[in-house]
Amino acid sequence: MKIAEVTKEIIGKKCKMMWTGMIVNATITRIEENENSVQVWAIFDEGHQWGNDTWYKAHSFARKSDGWGSLQYLQLV
């Protein structure tokens, strides 16, 4: 996904996102934007184990200056 595609209308949509090197299914819950970046927060469809912890949410981001970040791997499904 590109920064220009991030709008309030995607909140509540299902997506696939990169998390710790794997693609996971999630639902978008909020969007945050500041002068330097855009962040898309999501809750996983199921918890994922990483070390001794189970994770249920994460975010994808991209820098506004050059688009670098994990947002490029986020896809709506």
pLDDT digits (tens, 9 = 90+) for 61-70: 999 999 999 9
pLDDT the model gives residue 4: 94
- In whole angstroms, what is the distance from residue 48 CA to residue 71 CA? 19
The closest of 22, 23, 28 to 57, measured between CA atoms, is: 28
Q: How far apart are CA 47 and CA 20, in angstroms?
A: 13
**pTM listed for this prediction:** 0.91
> pLDDT value at position 74?
97
* Alpha-carbon gap, residue 69 to 77, rounded angstroms: 20
Reported confidence tier of residue 52, pLDDT bands at 50, 70, 90: very high
Q: Please, what sign has the CA dihedral across residues 38, 73, 29, 46? A: negative
